[in-house]
Structure 1
Amino acid sequence: MSSWSSGRRPITIAILAMGGEGGGVLADWIVAVGENAGYHSQNTSVAGVAQRTGATVYYVELYPGGRSQGDDVRREPVLSLFPTPGEVDIVIASELMEAGRAIQRGFSTPDRTTLIASTNRVYSMDEKLALGDGRVDSNTLLEAAHAGAKHFIGADFMELALAARSVISASLFGALAGSGALPFDRTGFEDAIRASGKGVDASLAAFAAGYDAAQRPAPLPLPAAPTPASGGPVAVTIGLSRPVDPAEEAATAAEKRREEQAVRDPGALVGAALQHAAARVTADFPAPARSMLLHGVVRTAVYQDTRYTDAYLDRVARFAAVERPDGPARLTTEAARHIALWMCYQDTIQVAQQKIRRRRLDGVRTEAKAAPGQLLNVREYLHPQVEEIADTLPTALGRWVAGSAWFGKAVGRLTRNGMIVNTTGIIGFTMLWAMAMFRPLRPRSLRFGREQAAIDAWLDQALAAAAIDYDLACEIVECQRVLKGYGATHQHGTESFAILLAEAAALAGRPDAAATLVRLRDAALADEDGSALQQARAELASGAPVPELSPVA
């Protein structure tokens, strides 16, 4: 007696998508295509919220229809509810990290799986919470995608969907149709979209873009940048290799010309109010550092005023005076970068200024696809602390507020549930505008004095080190990387920064001083509570070499 299932097995499809990306709609479209072609279907979803704030695995099985043969009693197949590692024919991932997770979990395998993945990145919580650069290398994910699938189809399907004013599920559906992995023609896919009756035109446009993208070769990892022979900075390339777009190539060439112009004539790239600063950059600083200096000039002027920019250039000039001749000017370049970052620290005035910028509000309108004349509300969720309020006030008043118990209780009662401010409303905008107007008073604030004193002490130590160990001085300058965030995060960073400077002073004169400080800094960026740094210090004190540690676990 022959079995009704002889020689036949279901087509298995796993979809990995995050909330709001239409993963459920995509699964429903696939089911509709299969059922319209006479296939039996099974569609389930397994929600997961631990890592990706709503990442869900949707699973579809399609079994060829038709009556069973022989004396079989069962007329319909029994299909699985969950994907089985090594048994998935098609994996669709809405983001590059999700493709990596599919490979890690065994859903995508090189012997059978067609992997369709969008190459855009939506960073995971681990990547966002890392104190250093917590991003996973896109090249590594791309290499895994090529190696972990029988057929890999990749493109920025999110960008294609946004261009069509649709969602990524539609462009991924088009890529699935274009892949040829399912035995259905294009019309069947498009009919499923039309039958849904929602956003049909936009979905069909995104579908067509995804279909066309599936016909092109998947992007390849970019080759790693060569490691410099000396102790200079290492360039890390994270990106995608794909067929060259003439328009994109022209834009890249234009950007390169602007960078070259920054070296030849910095004054041409800044406003009239900063022409004197640009002229000073040209006259007083080494050419390799000028582009970075221009960014710092503009940043400090927008943050405070042109006098603040002059102070910025005065500080960087101290490093230019001790720079190595005819070299890459690493010390001056890194000083230009990190001094500007620290001098433009985030306070309540800066936050208010950024939130009411016209460019920012225009960007929100563009991202929300608001039509001309359409009303748009932007609501900010704020949670001010006593320290932030005290730091903004004049020094004497700020110290009194910071030490006042009753003021702290009052602020705690008012803000314990946070505050919602409508930036696009009269009251909300006026509140933020009034806060931003305190910018001329910032130099008198409690935090301003504290930050400037800390900056000068840091620079003095780096310059002292430069006299005996150039590389150590560069690493001391880069220790500013641990200062970021606000509240408890900034406090932990400040504590780690103080430890790093103390260790740098103790390391001065050792041949491995710079390399050891790099490893200590990486340990400081590895976690927020400082345990990795304390362990590295203990190993250093015991005489053992400090192990190399990536900032991202």
Structure 2
Amino acid sequence: MLDRAQPQAEGSQQARAIRIAILAMGGEGGGVLAEWIVDLAEHGGYLAQLTSVPGVAQRTGATIYYVELFPQTALAEGAPEPVMALMPMPGDVDIVIASELMEAGRAVQRGLVTPDRTALIASTHRVFAMTEKVALADGRADGPVLLEACRNSAKNFFGADLAAAAERTSSVISAVLFGALAQSHTLPFERDAFEATIERAGVGVAASKRGFAAGMTAVSEGDSGPPTNGSVPRDASSTQASAASAPDGTHASLAALIAQADGAFPSSARAVVRAGLERLADYQDLDYAQDYLLRLKPVADAERRHGDGSGRLLAETARELALGMAYEDTIRVAELKIRGSRFVRVREEVRARQGQIIEIAEFMHPRLKEIAESMPAWLGRLMLRPGLLRSAIENATRRGRIVKTTSIRGFLQLYLVASLKTWRRSSLRFAEEEARLSAWLDRVVATAARNYALAVEVAECRGLVK
């Protein structure tokens, strides 16, 4: 760490600049954080320079803000006037601040973080990159591996879930990162100087100071790391939310179904099966969840007869079967858009105050195929055939439309679509998905009898179907 009282020196006689790189995504206040650091330094007797290298929008890259600080006392003692760089260079950065774990990993990859010099301050939460989202299978980077790389690559690592701290304090992550920087003691300034900087900015002072204090606390409590990948499937959080939103009358029946599954399936697959049951009961109904268990029984039998004791085949099949049975269609989209929990979440995200009215405008653009798939199978096939009906629907859906779900008209439009849920089993999409799932399950079971490892691969290949 840098000495509070004295800037780092390249030798016993020559002072040099303190070099700081900030990696932040759009909308996170990275520019504000950089300006705060500049203001802090200038009021603390340092020359400061700020430059930025823009990244790409939509989470495929981040802007790098680069700050250099040089002590004015060194100039007074006869040091030559510094020539400051315009961008960070590998192996020549004292402090790296990253607003998210992947950005910290990118800093390590670029060589900006070195074990002999760099203090790395990072939020350990994840925001998935575009490359992770568009991957055919599970393209997510391994959070624990990223975290370990950050720890091993930095001279000093200060990590905590700073996004959660910002959320708790109704602040922004830039203020929390500023607090983390203060608590890391990597700059020669006291806490009062940091807080005075926030006050001089004069915008959102109270919220920023709350976030600043939360950042100091988070770093002082130590590196918490990102959420680890447990035995619950990838979509566990959404299934838990779905179960919570189910009508009260279904909870007892769902609990009985889960108890039945716990008795029928080995412990290695129970968490996945439970999550699948919760998702499918919410997606359709309890009978649909019961069908899920029935379809898993042949796979469970194959696991017992041909398995290697790991339970991988049953767990992966249970995961992919639940996702396949809970496919996204126009009915599901409409249902999710009008849920009460969504309106509450939006109010929380925009931080609407009590009594404030918000409007939610949804851009909807269902195409011919999506509409036809939601219709009864015979009608859907008719709509897809070349002819006047198909042409009329294509013309009517050429442009998308905006639906205000906070208005009576917009809400009722989506409510009508969501009410088609009771007829989903007769829809064209349901028939197609059922045929695909049945063929896939038959192949998994048949392959397990010949080659267990290959059967696991066949089960995982279902994840390629989007």
TM-score category of the 2 structures, normalised to the smaller one: 0.7 to 0.9
Q: Report how far residue 189 of structure 1 moved.
A: 0.8
Residue 305 of structure 1 corresponds to 285
Q: CA RMSD in A?
A: 3.4
Q: Distance in 1 between matches of 2:321 and 2:298?
A: 12
Deviations 1:511-531 (A, max 9, x none): xxxxxxxxxxxxxxxxxxxxx
Q: CA shift at 1:53, angstroms?
A: 4.9
Counterpart in the other structure of 1:440: 422
- The alignment status of 1:24 with 2:45, answered yes or no, reads no
Normalised TM-score (structure 1) = 0.72
* 1:273-284 equivalences in 2 (<5 Å): 273-274=253-254, 277-278=257-258, 280-281=260-261, 284=264
Gaps of 5+ in 2: 1-12, 235-239, 241-248
Q: CA deviation at 1:195?
A: 0.7
CA deviations on 1:350-389 (whole Å, 9 max, x unpaired) are 1111222222322222233223332222232332111111
Range that drifts further, 351-360 or 334-343: 334-343
Residue correspondence of structure 1 range 19-418 to structure 2 within 5 A: 19-49=26-56, 52-53=59-60, 55-66=62-73, 68=75, 77-219=82-224, 271-274=251-254, 277-278=257-258, 280-281=260-261, 284-286=264-266, 288-324=268-304, 330-418=312-400
- Give, in angstroms, the shift of residue 335 of structure 1: 3.8
SS in 1 for 2:14: coil
Tell me how far apart the structure 1 counterparts of residues 416 and 107 of structure 2 sit (CA, whole Å).
50
Q: CA deviation at 1:42?
A: 1.1
Give 1:405 deviation, angstroms: 4.9
Post-superposition shift, 1:122? 1.4
Report what 1:424 is aligned to: 406
Change (3 A) 1:166 1:472: same
TM-aligned CA distance change 1:200 to 1:220, over 3 Å: closer
Q: What secondary structure does 1:183 align onto?
A: coil
Kindly provide the amino acid, as one letter, of the partner of residue 65 in structure 1.
Answer: Q
Q: 1:43 Cα deviation (Å)?
A: 1.3
Match of 2:243 in 1: none
Normalising by structure 2, report the TM-score: 0.84
- CA distance in structure 2 between the partners assigned to 1:467 and 1:54 by the alignment: 46
Comparing 291-300 with 273-282, greater Cα deviation is found at 273-282
- Could you tell me whether the CA contact under 8 Å between 1:18 and 1:53 is conserved in 2? no
Aligned to 2:459: 477
- Structure 1 residue 179, shift from structure 2 partner: 1.6
Deviations 1:286-343 (A, max 9, x none): 5654444333333333222333333333322333445417956554444433332222
- Kept in 1, the 8 Å contact 2:372–2:379? The answer is yes
Q: Give the aligned residue type for 2:35.
A: D
For the 8 Å contact 1:222–1:237, the answer to whether it is kept is no
SS in 1 for 2:220: coil
Contact 1:289–1:333, Cα closer than 8 Å, also in 2: yes
- For residues 322 and 38 of structure 2, what CA distance do their matches in structure 1 show? 55
Cα distance in 2 for partners of 1:418, 1:109 equals 50
Match of 1:231? none
Provide closer, same or farther for how the CA distance between residues 221 and 170 of structure 1 changes in structure 2, counting only shifts above 3 A: closer
What are the ranges of 5 or more consecutive residues in structure 1 without an aligned counterpart? 1-5, 226-234, 239-254, 256-268, 485-553
1:138-170 deviation line (CA, Å, top 9, x unaligned): 222222222222221111111112211111111
Assess, with a 3 A threshold, how the Cα gap between structure 1 residues 446 and 90 changes in structure 2: closer, same or farther. Answer: same
Is the contact between residue 324 and residue 437 of structure 2 (CA under 8 Å) also seen in structure 1? yes
Task: Tell whether the 8 Å contact from 1:170 to 1:204 is kept in structure 2 after alignment.
Answer: yes
Letter in 1 for 2:66: Y
2:125·2:227 contact (CA, 8 Å) conserved in 1? Answer: no
Aligned with 2:353: secondary structure? coil
| Cα distance in structure 2, aligned partners of 1:466 and 1:77 | 69
Identity %: 50
Tell whether the 8 Å contact from 2:17 to 2:70 is kept in structure 1 after alignment: yes
Decide whether aligned partners of structure 1 residues 329 and 178 sit closer, same or farther in structure 2, where only a CA change above 3 A counts.
closer
Q: Residue 214 of structure 2: SS of its match in structure 1?
A: helix
Matches of 2:288 and 2:426 in 1, distance apart?
13
The aligned residue for residue 245 of structure 2 is none
**Cα distance in structure 1, aligned partners of 2:76 and 2:320:** 75
Corresponding letter in the other structure for 1:383 = H
- Judge which range, 22-31 or 277-286, deviates more: 277-286
Tell me the alpha carbon deviations over residues 220-264 of structure 1, each in whole angstroms, 9 at most, x when there is no partner: 799999xxxxxxxxx7999xxxxxxxxxxxxxxxx9xxxxxxxxx
